[in-house]
Amino acid sequence: MKKLNQIIFFFLMSSVLAFAEFPNISVKDLKTAIDSNAVAIIDVNGPESFKNGHIPGAINFSEDFKNLPKLLPADKNTLIVSYCGGPACRAYLKGANAAAKLGYSNIKHLAAGISGWKKAGQEVEKN
């Protein structure tokens, strides 16, 4: 019975970690971090959206997820921000969870997404 309880506990904790929530970062605070070169950004919107406009310096997760360990900074305490389309989008979890699995501990979510970034009048890169 004790072994069964341990197995159940393990699976419950695994599912909690798999669906971890990450704290929000505001557009203003993200812009400050970008200006200070103190952040790595992960865009999970997909290749077409990325090409049409992304936050400057963002990593294109859909094309570069296999290279994430090389693209993210060596310092595991670096601020990592993952984002997708906007407040209702949950795709950001792909990038955030990938960073967490690599051992990063300071991961946030731009809930405003690319739509909120643009709405705030912030610059986007296109390529």
Q: What percent of the chain has pLDDT over 70?
A: 84
Identify whether the C-beta of residue 51 lies closer than 8 Å to the C-beta of residue 126.
yes
Residue 104 belongs to a domain: yes
Give the CATH number, domain containing residue 63. Answer: 3.40.250.10
Q: Does any domain span residue 124?
A: no
Instruction: Please report whether residue 29 resides in a domain.
Output: yes
pLDDT tens for residues 7-43?
443 333 333 344 468 999 999 999 999 999 999 999 9
Q: Is position 127 within any domain?
A: no
- Residue 5 lies inside a defined structural domain of this protein: no
Total domains present in the chain? 1
pTM of the model: 0.84
Burial status of residue 61 (CB atoms within 10 A of its CB: 0-12, 13-18, 19 or more): buried
**Which pLDDT score is estimated for 72?**
98
Residue 12 counted as domain residue: no
Q: Which domain holds residue 52?
A: 21-119
Q: Is the dihedral of CA 104, 107, 113, 119 positive or negative?
A: negative
13 inside domain: no
